[in-house]
Structure 1
Amino acid sequence: MGEKFKRTTPEEALKRLKEEQMGQLKIYIGYAPGVGKTYTMLNEANNRLEKGEDILIGYLESHQRKETEAQIGKLEAIPRKKIKYNGMVLEEMDTEAIITRRPTTVLVDELAHTNVPGSKNRKRYEDVEEILNHGINVISTLNIQHLESLNDIVRQITGIIVRETIPDIIVENADEVVVIDITPTALRNRLNGGYIYKHENVVRSLKNFFRQGNLTALREIALRQTAEEVDEELEEYKKQHGIKENWHVIERVMVCIGPSPSSKKLIRRGARIARKFKCELIIVNINCTRVFMPKMTQKDIQMLESHFKLAKQLGAKVVTLRGKSVSRELAKFATERYITQIIIGHSGKTKWESLIRGSTVTKLLKLTKNIEVHIIPNN
């Protein structure tokens, strides 16, 4: 018998065809206004134009910054659509005109913008989705504080409620995300020099949103958020290409615990290491199903619960695994989760028990050759 092939359903074929015909989305992300997102986007567009690409401006918000406006160059711009609202005439991006013109690529500034009431779509990212569905590529810009999941964090840091947000899925599904990064000191110097806002707004901005602490925190959020996106892409690439070894791109710390009181020491050590690297911390407990394994007492259960509580207080994820071999389950989990550092206590077995069944620590060291293992004394 020949090899059987799974037949593609009409729905699957239609979905694949639609994905192939979709335009690609590239987003320039920054941690604050003035870092250079629009400037960089325009610079890239002019380079593409010189190479013969049909690329134009769908919507641009220069904020009257001379540096930015100088980058427009020879780029064609689609005239904005005029919409009457409350006795005023306001301008929005003309999505229909872009689709009719059908360029290869269009620039759309300020992805999180809310459209004027009366527009076809409520949000600009919905306009972008419509353009992408017509097979037109989009390059856009976004500040990190406009991501919906970060709304509360940004408010806590800056004291400012960001009302214009976009779903995280928009960034997650983007074909390319690029961080435009400058130091907070350099950004404040740009603000002071009048390159971002008019001089009468500079002093107020420096004392509010553009405080050094605010900018430093927002910058770290932007860099970490993008690092997570890149890490997910790398994991997907490794799965597709059957790559199993850990490339140690991002640190991940795993702490192996049990009901012993000394496990709290391990958790705290793991938290210090994770804080140093600003990385993920996972606390793992094994529910061993081996025959003749002593059952946990009520005291053991209560001790474990107190360990879990401490771990969560320190910002760790808590995972309980089941299996006959403690060492194999730990090694399997560490490999699957791309753990880079394992923290474990000295084996509590007697010499006789270690001779008969072997030490968990020794077995784990053999099974995790590409992972750093920290063996911590129980005392």
Structure 2
Amino acid sequence: MEPDQKDTSVKDFIELVKKSRRGKLKIYIGMSAGVGKTYRMLQEAHALLKNGIDIQIGYIETHNRAETHALLAGIPVISRRKTFYKGRELEEMDLQAIINRHPEVAIVDELAHSNIEGSKNSKRWQDVMDILEAGISVITAINIQHLESLNEEIEDITGIPITERVPDKILEVADEIVNIDLTADELIARLKEGKIYDKAKVETALQNFFRNEKILQLREIALKEVAHHLERKIDIEVPKQIKLRPERFLACISSNSETAKIVIRKTARLASYYRSPWIVLYVQSSSESLERIKLDKQRHLINNFKLATELGAELIKIKSDEITKTIMKVAEEKEVTTICIGKPHLNLWQVILRTAIFNELLNKIAATETDLVILS
């Protein structure tokens, strides 16, 4: 065996060993607050306790819902970590205490939560990954609007910006995903009964987030998302005799922040659907050099690079004034099957269409059976 092959074999075996030691992850997902995710987690905790499983609460948020709060009785709770932040005493999940206590299963609510500055990890989903790596299984919960790649689509529906987000890869590593589904009428009835928010807030909620048409759209997205991940799990675990051409996506971005975010998120969705590797390519032309673009654009660009890596992309940055040639070269080298670009401004689009380079790119794409997708 060649040295390189031996190294690869060893690395593969190490990954198998690590995977066998890693805890299992179960995620309860819902279309919105109030569908009963936390309630179901606590019900499951009681069932596991009765069956002799050492399950403890790492973090839970009952939102003062009486029915949910009542289920806390009898389940061991790991104390939260108290910390001072901006002159106030706050409580956070104690990651190290969970790892030290090492229950078989930990309940960790509010997966999309952002940790207080100075914590080991900036996000709770990262804490969950650490807990899993320590060999502890985790049951957690999240609302569909907190998934990174769905962020803009759901913001368009609800009109509410979502600042706390979780990369889609967290669903990909989950061993089980359970959708807590309610009809729009059932959810609104729970709201009116005061089971979601204090009754003083009910009317405002009904006029904003909890409108029938919004709930129906969110419900459809949640159902599709869980169905997609179930199909993905079946595809992985049930071997197929016919091997299809492996998909590989290339997302091409510029310093245009909004277009770049759309291209990154939508390409991430495509890659997730096909279980494919994907690449984000930024070609820095001389007009976009650090000396020429404003600081806010530089900051947005860095944030988009971070978004791409969080969503699982390989990031490539190249300095060149021959943008289309560079795209073509990277596509060939990386054996890309689909190139994704944002919809340019009309005048720029007309210019590109008239160039020989772009026509050459199209010819190359046709010759290699590579697809071009224009995202908007």
Q: TM-score, normalised by structure 1?
A: 0.62
1:194 aligns with 2:205: no
Partners of 2:366 and 2:132 in 1: CA distance: 43
Partners of 2:25 and 2:152 in 1: CA distance: 27
2:224 aligns with 224
Equivalent residue of 1:200, what SS? helix
Letter in 1 for 2:40: T
Letter in 1 for 2:153: I
Letter in 1 for 2:65: R
Partners of 1:32 and 1:93 in 2: CA distance: 23
Letter in 2 for 1:113: H
1:140 aligns with 2:140: yes
1:91 aligns with 2:91: yes
Partners of 1:130 and 1:50 in 2: CA distance: 27
Q: Which runs of 5+ in 1 are unaligned?
A: 1-5, 245-279, 281-318, 324-379
Partners of 1:139 and 1:218 in 2: CA distance: 23
Equivalent residue of 1:9, what SS? helix
Superposed CA offset, 1:314-356 (max 9, x none): xxxxx98999xxxxxxxxxxxxxxxxxxxxxxxxxxxxxxxxx
Equivalent residue of 2:238, what SS? helix
Query: Are the aligned partners of 1:31 and 1:144 in contact in 2 as well (CA < 8 Å)?
Result: yes
1:79 aligns with 79
1:28 aligns with 28
Consecutive aligned runs of 4 or more in structure 1 exceeding 3 Å deviation: 319-323
Q: Counterparts in 2 of 1:133-282, with a 5 A limit?
A: 133-239=133-239, 242=241
The structure in which a higher percent of residues are helix is: 2
Q: Which runs of 5+ in 2 are unaligned?
A: 244-273, 275-364, 370-376
Partners of 2:367 and 2:222 in 1: CA distance: 33
Letter in 1 for 2:239: K
State the superposition RMSD in angstroms.
2.1
How far does residue 71 in structure 1 lie from its aligned partner after superposition?
A: 1.6
Larger radius of gyration: 1
1:119 aligns with 119
Q: Number of aligned pairs?
A: 244
How far does residue 10 in structure 1 lie from its aligned partner after superposition?
A: 2.1
1:110 aligns with 2:115: no
Equivalent residue of 2:177, what SS? strand
Q: TM-score, normalised by structure 2?
A: 0.62
How far does residue 243 in structure 1 lie from its aligned partner after superposition?
A: 8.5
Letter in 1 for 2:160: I
Letter in 2 for 1:213: E
Partners of 2:239 and 2:367 in 1: CA distance: 23
Letter in 1 for 2:122: R
Partners of 1:135 and 1:81 in 2: CA distance: 21
Q: Counterparts in 2 of 1:309-320, with a 5 A limit?
A: none
Structure 1 pair 10–322 and aligned structure 2 pair: CA distance change class (3 A): closer
How far does residue 170 in structure 1 lie from its aligned partner after superposition?
A: 0.6
Query: Are the aligned partners of 1:83 and 1:118 in contact in 2 as well (CA < 8 Å)?
Result: no
Query: Are the aligned partners of 1:55 and 1:103 in contact in 2 as well (CA < 8 Å)?
Result: yes
Partners of 1:174 and 1:321 in 2: CA distance: 39
